[in-house]
């Protein structure tokens, strides 16, 4: 608890668990709000294709696409 308070005082971002029943569209809308910019239709289509092809979670596909893992 003390570590959490110290992190909040330093102004670090608190990570929350992703919603388990979140649709891919809702996920991308949340990412748009976090990033402060619009996600292009081309990227959306690529994201959906990768999500279907890989069968991973939405968060995993997002990390793979954005970080090239």
- Quick one: pLDDT at residue 9? 53
Count up the domains in the chain and report the number.
Answer: 1
pTM: 0.65
φ, ψ for residue 45 (rounded to 5)? -60, -40
- For CA atoms 60, 17, 15, 47, give the dihedral sign: positive
Residue 9 is assigned to a structural domain of this protein: no
61 Cβ contact partners less than 8 Å away, ≥ 6 residues apart? 47, 50, 51, 54
Residue 11 is assigned to a structural domain of this protein: no
Residue 10 is assigned to a structural domain of this protein: no
Residue 66 is assigned to a structural domain of this protein: yes
Reading the chain (69 residues) residue by residue, the pLDDT tens digits are 555 555 555 555 544 555 568 999 999 999 999 999 999 999 999 999 999 998 889 999 999 998 864
As given in the structure block, the two tokens for residue 36 are 């402060």
Give the domain range for residue 60.
Answer: 22-69
Residue 54 is assigned to a structural domain of this protein: yes
Give residue for tokens 């239709």: 41
Residue 39 is assigned to a structural domain of this protein: yes
């Amino acid at each position: 608890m003390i570590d959490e308070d110290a992190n909040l005082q330093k102004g670090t971002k608190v990570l929350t668990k992703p919603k388990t029943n979140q649709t891919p569209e809702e996920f991308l809308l949340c990412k748009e709000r976090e990033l402060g910019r619009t996600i292009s239709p081309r990227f959306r289509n690529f994201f959906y294709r990768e999500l279907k092809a890989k069968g991973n979670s939405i968060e995993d596909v997002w990390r793979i696409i954005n970080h090239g893992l």
